[in-house]
Amino acid sequence: MDASEVRDLLREVEDPDLGDDIVSLGLVNDLSVEGDTATISLALGAPYSPHETEIANRVREVLSDHGLDADLSARVDDDVSADEQVLPNVENIIAVASGKGGVGKSTVAVNIAAGLSQLGARVGLFDADVYGPNVPRMVDADEVPTATEDETMIPPEQFGVKLMSMAFLVGEDDPVIWRGPMVHKVLTQLWEDVEWGHLDYMVVDLPPGTGDAQLTLLQSVPVTGAVIVTTPQDVAIDDARKGLRMFGKHDTPVLGIAENMSTFKCPDCGGEHDIFGRGGGAKFAEDNDMPFLGSVPIDPSVRTGGDEGRPIVLDEDEDTGDAFRVLTENVANNVGVIKRRQQR
């Protein structure tokens, strides 16, 4: 069987998101056949996302049905050369943002990072909330970064996630009182002077609002997409709308809307209580033609996990852990959609 015949076979493989076969979509970069092995490079850019894993498995299945082994690799073409990129070894940068504080943005960021690592990805978590850095506590990270001979920092690691936070660099009780230029300088140094290594995903926990840290990120590094966190409450939705407009003005794709604190299931009576309303995040996503990533209930175990430093997404026996796993998978799938659309 020659390469042309194999390419025709690959037309049987459908992209679950883009609604066509992978050949028509231009997702086959290179293809060669030697003996019973087809070597194929696919334009897949979201490692360990369920949908891209499904595509790769389907390719193997189709070729196996015709007596061929598949030697697969993945590569997406980027308009920016590696020399011009700030973080050339980071495939995808995911910004986690909220229009206001108190909606559980850091909790969502930590659980997405831990969830991606649990899927098998190489992950970094950058706590860019310079005024309230609490990610180290939420993952029980006691170690601080170490320095190399050329004065770059080696980030500590927890749950398979490489960590960097302002909390490592200031005293535990010291307030951070900085103006915009200092915020820009420190954030830039924190991602440029850190030995991140090769990462499939870097999750960036932004401070709430639309201030200096957000602008520094959007102007300095190639953000793949943003997750906007809100509660169902109208006040939170109003502020989330501002965050959506900020990313739109900087031509940054929004991966979707995550609704936190959606319902509270009473452990005593078994009833559900809509403390912050119901369905606000889903409606906000629908009204703005954005993907809805999922909702996470109010659950005391989320607070316990945050205080004790173990993200609930790692708990296989918790329904709320399932909610975070679904949210994480949807984030990864939507990263893949963005990357594959860029290849068309």
- Whole-angstrom distance, CA of residue 40 vs CA of residue 20: 19
When pLDDT is averaged across residues 266-273 and rounded to a whole number, the result is: 64
Structural domains present in the chain? 3-74 (3.30.300.130), 90-342 (3.40.50.300)
100 among the known binding-site residues?
yes
Average pLDDT of the chain is 86
Locus of tokens 């924190």: 190
Residue 46 tokens read as: 């979201």
103 among the known binding-site residues?
yes
The residue among 340, 327, 332, 290 whose CA lies nearest residue 14 is: 340
pLDDT of res. 273: 61
pLDDT of res. 189: 76
When pLDDT is averaged across residues 309-326 and rounded to a whole number, the result is: 91
Q: How many C-alpha atoms does 62 have within 13 Å on its Cβ side?
A: 19
**pTM of the shown model:** 0.90
When pLDDT is averaged across residues 142-152 and rounded to a whole number, the result is: 85
Residue 75 tokens read as: 């590569």
76 among the known binding-site residues?
no
Give the C-alpha distances (Å, rounded to integers) separating 250 from 60, 243, 314: 39, 11, 34
242 among the known binding-site residues?
no
Check pLDDT > 80 for residue 258: yes
Are 220 and 188 in contact by the 8 Å Cβ rule? The answer is yes
Check pLDDT > 70 for residue 278: no
106 among the known binding-site residues?
yes
pLDDT interval class at 216 (50, 70, 90): confident
101 among the known binding-site residues?
yes
Residue predicted with more confidence, 101 or 49: 49
183 among the known binding-site residues?
no
104 among the known binding-site residues?
yes
Residue predicted with more confidence, 302 or 16: 16
Q: Which of 105-109, 289-293, 310-314, 325-329 has the highest mean pLDDT?
A: 325-329
Q: What is the pLDDT of residues 152-184, one digit of tens each?
A: 889 999 999 999 987 887 655 555 555 556 677
